[in-house]
Amino acid sequence: WVALAYLASVCFLDKWTAERYKIYLKSQKRSKYGVSDKGSRTWKGVWNGREHKIVFDSKAEMKRFCDLHMLYTKKKIKNLEIQPRFLLFESKETGKCEWYVGDFLYFQEGGWFCEDVKGVSTQLFISKWNRVQELHKGVRFLIVSSKHI
């Protein structure tokens, strides 16, 4: 039985050309959402005195982080945070909360800024975006278009 299974696998592989196998491998790496592979969205470096390896949701988000990280190391901005959470709603009966999660939060002369890198804005994002601006007036919320990074 084992010899038969081995023979069948060898015959199957022999029918594939090198080109067809390359096409197959490329098709296996694609995300259904069009997101790049993790390697091209991963930042490796020193941040706050420690080694980090951060995988971002998009290449644009990673590029924006690199820009902000440079400003942070040059002390142009302070208190750089990734994925800051802002409370939108808390149910008194169930205790469940609804959150807005931004991409970056930092302090610059003049106050706090929260950035969200967006390629496409969904209806859910727009409703949370409007709500977070109403509730958290001490923070300036900015949308950074992925097309302009």
Across 2-6, 16-20, 65-69, 86-90, least confident range? 2-6
Res. 8: pLDDT tops 60: no
- What average pLDDT does range 87-114 have in this prediction? 92
Mean pLDDT of all residues in the chain?
A: 78
Res. 63: pLDDT tops 80: yes
**Where residue 20 falls among pLDDT bands split at 50, 70, 90?**
low
d(CA 9, CA 2): 11
Name the nearest CA neighbour of 115 among 147, 143, 91, 95.
143
Res. 105: pLDDT tops 90: yes
pLDDT digits (tens, 9 = 90+) for 112-136: 999 999 988 889 999 999 999 999 9
Q: Which two three-digit tokens encode residue 60?
A: 């644009």
The share of the chain scoring above pLDDT 90, in percent, equals 39
